[in-house]
Structure 1
Amino acid sequence: MSSEPGATALAPEAEAPWKTLSPRAPLAALFPVLGLVLRPMLGALLPTFFMRDGGFPAFIWAIILLFAGSSVAALLYEVATTRYRVVGAQLEIRSGVFTKTSRFIEAARVQNTEVVQPFVSKLLGLVELKVETASGQKAEGHLRGLTPGDAQALIDALHMARGNKAQALAPVGTPGEADGEVLANTRLVDLLRYGATATGLGVLAVVMGALNELMELFHDWALPWMQAHWKGLARPGMGWVSAVLVVLAGLLVLWLVNVVLAVLRFHGFRLVDTGTHFRALGGLFTSRQITVRHERIQQVVLDEPLLRRWFGFGSVEVETAGVRAGREAAERAELVVPVVPTSRMEALVDRLIPGLPAALGTLSLRPAHPKSLLRARIRAVGVSVLVATPATFLLWPWGVLAWALLPLQLVGAWFDWRFQGWLITDTLVVVRQGFWRRRTTVLQRARIQAVNAVQGPLERGYGIGHVRVAVAGSDVVLPSVSWDEAGRLIDALPAPRRTRQPPPGVRNPPGPSEGGAPSAADAEPAAASEPSLGLYSRLPE
């Protein structure tokens, strides 16, 4: 008799129909698949342009083209035969031609979903759906070529599989009509300011490479034209004016590239709170729609470079356990609010991660250890010497100017040390780093995966160290503290519990009678008796 309910419950799951992608899905996936196949081949084919006698023989080219064509055809056929369905509380995706794969994704493990609509898919009326978990550096479930209706139905099915049957999410593909409270929106003038103040090293490298390629054009065409029309530049000693004009032109190109990239990525951006999810919508040619559950947010980062602070705004990055590949922190974030006025940052952070005891601007953060300033100065001197010494010999006499880097590095080290701070409350960890590019991380203690105390060679000599707090996909480093305090912190995080063995070289923390950190048995009554003073108030100085 006990097996009858089980059989009845499994019947609907066994009969769940498979769903296929749109018939236009292979056409929408053509350009991404071509890029996936031809990109690794490009590195191998480039040397052929420098080979004599036309490079590879014709039969080698035939083999390469046959391999590329068959790979593209196989990947497109795989897209065309992909099937999916929601069975119980799982999303099942089947795909493959020669090697068939079946992926099962628990609805409860889904960190966030992202709806992407590239330009070609927009012309075809299709979207891509990415389902992200904490299992790797890319989306665990990636379905290309869905209609907006099918994507919406799948998102709602995953939402209902988690037990939230009473609420459906706003429709996908309609960024201007998302239901919920609008927490942030971005105007075109905001994106112009955001792009103009960007300091991405990747963009700078691209621009410098482009300028390097244009130098021959400048010398062959632009410089003679300038000398012919502006007689003053042709006079002896006026070559520095041309150099200044080239630098200004490069800065203008860098500004234009940053502005264009900002507009392409965040045009029409809106952050909407649907009640159970945060939904970010935006993009010009490629529309993106990211949905993050409230309870999946593990940390929020406030990015405030000095130039943007002067203009009164910054950016907010939201991270979940969905691990993403990317060198820059903003590339790893699942959700980025590009422009947030400084006066509204605290309110937005409180909506994303509640629990701050006060506004971020009034928090009494604990400073970095005083001895860490000496360590930072030694590092600054070392970097300056390594740069200035070869510059002096290679670029004499102008290379002597490189020694001006030394006082600048020392001043920068002091500012960096002066504005570091950290705080631990009952539910959050707050870490502030940097002055020129200030980044404030607000991390939920419940999401902490591991805590490590690290002590480098210089730190060992000064009796200090730093604590690294790891969460799924990233980590946060607290400013330097004494090595004894580092041992107490790894026992206090992620939550008060029984004291473990301290790291080597750290003495056992004193008991409550000696003025030290309380044990787990003592911490529970203390937490119940005192109001939300935070764990920081119970840690010894």
Structure 2
Amino acid sequence: MSSEGYAALPSTEEVPWKRLSAKAPLAALVPLSATIGRMLLTALLPTYFAGERGLPTVLWIIMVGIAGILLAAGLYEVATLSYRVVGAQLEIRSGVFTRSSRFIEAARVQNTEVLQPFVSKLLGLVEVKVETASGGKADGHLRGLTPEDAQALIHALQSVRGEGAAVLLPGESSPEERVLSEARLGDLLLYGATALGVGVLAVVLSALHEITETFHKLLLPWMETHWEVMAAPGMGWLAATVAALAGLFGLWLVSGARAVLRFHGFRLVDTGTHLRAVGGLITRRQVTVRRVRIQQVVLDEPLLRRALGFGSVEVETAGVRTGKEASERAELLIPVVPTARMPELLREFVPDLPGAIGSLPLRPAHPKALLRARIRAVGLSVLVAAPATWFWGGWGALAWGLLPAQLLGAWFDWRFQGWFITDTLVVVRQGFWRRRTTVVQRARIQSVRARQGPLERGYGIGHVRIDVAGSHVVLPSVGWAEAQSLIDQLPGRRPARRVRPVPDATPLQQVP
């Protein structure tokens, strides 16, 4: 929990403020420049419509001046930022034009993240992010700490919470820690090759476009020389196959490179009260999560990865960052976990789970939910195939082949959905092509909502949405009466908090 605009509680001893390292502005130069560059990128779009003339010189001067002012202000803020731990609070003072003071209660800290980008590593510095349950970006981001100051800060926050875990930085290890999971280079390449998303496709297509535009003069002679061979009768299928394989290889290459950059040397260890994950090639990232703060665990098992015998595990606490994809929100993301080891690893995160996930008596989705899924599948197929047939005739009519595929997929998704409730947990399994099994701590549930769509109202069914801090999960469709009963049933009893004794004080005089 953080707040601004309130004065710190008085302390018996004045604690001095600490500054970042003198080299902190150098470490912040690259990330600040990248941030400012993204902000001003939209200003460069008119150059595409300005023809050969480009932008006027005056606009270039204004843009460069704004970028320089923003960069100077950011570097000055880093150079003047100060912090200290007083009592049970972390205080951070920063700002150039607007002075701000943040107060973060140590008891509210969900996890700490230690980063060491390439430039910071060269300078011998690290970054520390302190996250609470507020969501969004980190409440406290100290960029440019020496390793000693970073260890002292994390140790001070842990001491307030009564935790005595050893404070380690990326690359360090302790003989007492227990290794729970590791990722080898081959595993990461396989993980990347099976994670072909829209973002990767966009990167590859953009790269191919730029290469074609830049080197078309070099490619054109080769194309003129070999075009007759490629265009010969019976060779068209070969050209299409080669192009498809080249594109697929490009996707695999980019996705595999991203996985290696993010998770190289990944290692998840148990320190007793905390879980610590370290990984990354250029930017070394270490996340420390308190076991007692875990609110949700997700097993991500797409069909291709299940066939290859592995999946991924996402661990979230109340400090989850909202507004991103699930894999980015998770505090701990274990990229490669063999299917045979998933029950063992899941029990490390959720000791209350009664048996393996595959052996739980999951309740299926309501039978009428299948009819609803089929109607949606038919509607989606018609929405795609009808315009395709209108514009491309016979070739577009091939899109009607989506209809049986969509109906089959709807049946598989309905068939393999399920849910199960214990005294302390809620288990939800969804999807077949990308199966995701979510385990939620009932004590961490923030709210429960039952909803009915137009089709659901006609069939007398509904769905239940469970909200936790920064995330949510939806149960498979159930009868409407049961959905309403789950609203009061699902929230679990929260553990009682210890109440600190309040010192005797003179009662306030009432004002008449």
TM-score by length of 2: 0.91
Matching of residue 452 in structure 1 with residue 449 in structure 2: yes
RMSD between aligned residues: 2.1
**Cα deviations by residue, 1:325-353 (Å, 9 ceiling, x for unpaired):** 45321011111000111111111111112
Q: Is the 8 A contact 1:227 1:234 kept in 2?
A: no
Match of 1:121 in 2: 120
Report the CA distance shift for 1:413/1:178 in structure 2 as closer, same or farther (over 3 A). farther
2:130 maps to 1:131:
yes
Matched, 1:109 2:117: no
Aligned to 1:435: 432
Q: Secondary structure at the match of 2:40?
A: helix
Aligned residues of 2:445 and 2:492 also touching (Cα < 8 A): no
Say whether residues 1:248 and 2:218 are aligned partners: no
CA gap 1:83/1:54 in 2 versus in 1, 3 angstroms? same
Equivalent in the alignment of 1:278: 275
Instruction: Provide the C-alpha distance between the structure 2 equivalents of 1:467 and 1:214, rounded to a whole number of angstroms.
Output: 49
1:267 equivalent in structure 2:
264
Shift of 1:224: 5.9
Distance 1:339 1:240, change over 3 A: same
Instruction: Look up the equivalent residue of 2:75 and give its one-letter code.
Output: L
Aligned to 2:370: 373
Does the C-alpha gap of structure 1 residues 52 and 245 become closer, same or farther in structure 2, counting only changes over 3 Å?
A: closer
State the Cα distance separating 1:200 from its structure 2 match.
Answer: 2.1
Deviations 1:106-130, CA, capped at 9 Å, x for gaps = 0010011100111111111111110
| CA displacement, residues 130-179 of structure 1 (integer Å, 9 cap, x when unaligned) | 00011131100000001111111111100001122xx2324213245575
Paired with 1:177 and 1:414, the residues of 2 have a C-alpha distance of 50
Decide which of 397, 403, 409 is 1:400's aligned counterpart: 397
SS in 2 for 1:365: coil
User: Contact conserved, 2:11 with 2:87, CA < 8 A, in 1?
Assistant: no
Measure the CA separation in 2 of the matches of 1:214 and 1:363. Answer: 52
Q: Which residue of 2 is the match for residue 25 of structure 1?
A: 24
Q: Residue 426 of structure 1 aligns to a residue in which SS?
A: coil
- Does 2:186 correspond to 1:189? yes
The aligned runs of 1:484-499 (5 Å cut-off) are 484-495=481-492
- Segments of structure 1 that go 5 or more residues without pairing to the other structure are 1-8, 498-541
Deviation at 1:49, TM superposition (A): 4.5
Q: Could you tell me which amino acid in structure 2 is paired with residue 21 of structure 1?
A: L
Q: Which residue of 2 aligns with 1:329?
A: 326
Question: Where does structure 1 differ by over 4 angstroms across 4 or more consecutive aligned residues?
Answer: 9-12, 175-179, 212-224, 229-232
Percent of pairs identical after alignment? 69
SS in 2 for 1:190: helix
Residues 1:483 and 2:456 aligned together: no
| Cα distance in 2 between the residues matched to 1:402 and 1:140 | 49
1:260-280 superposed Cα distances (whole Å, 9 cap, x missing partner)? 111111111110111110000
Query: CA offset at residue 237 of structure 1?
Result: 4.5
Distance 1:132 1:475 in 2: 19
TM-score, normalised with respect to structure 1: 0.86
Using CA pairs below 8 Å that are at least 6 residues apart, which structure has the higher relative contact order? 2
Q: How does 1:139-178 map to 2 (within 5 A)?
A: 139-164=138-163, 167-177=164-174
For residues 215 and 44 of structure 2, what CA distance do their matches in structure 1 show?
Answer: 30
- Whether the 8 Å contact between 2:165 and 2:273 is mirrored in structure 1 is no
Identify the residue that residue 35 of structure 2 maps to in structure 1. 36
Whether the 8 Å contact between 1:300 and 1:317 is mirrored in structure 2 is yes
Distance 1:117 1:422, change over 3 A: same
User: Deviations for 1:462-506, whole angstroms, at most 9, x for unmatched residues?
Assistant: 000000000000100000000000011111011379xxxxxxxxx
Distance apart, 1:62 and its partner CA: 2.4
SS of 1:381's partner is: helix
Q: Which amino acid aligns with 1:48?
A: T
Matching residue's letter, 2:130: V
**Aligned pairs, number:** 486
Instruction: Please name the residue that 1:204 is paired with.
Output: 201
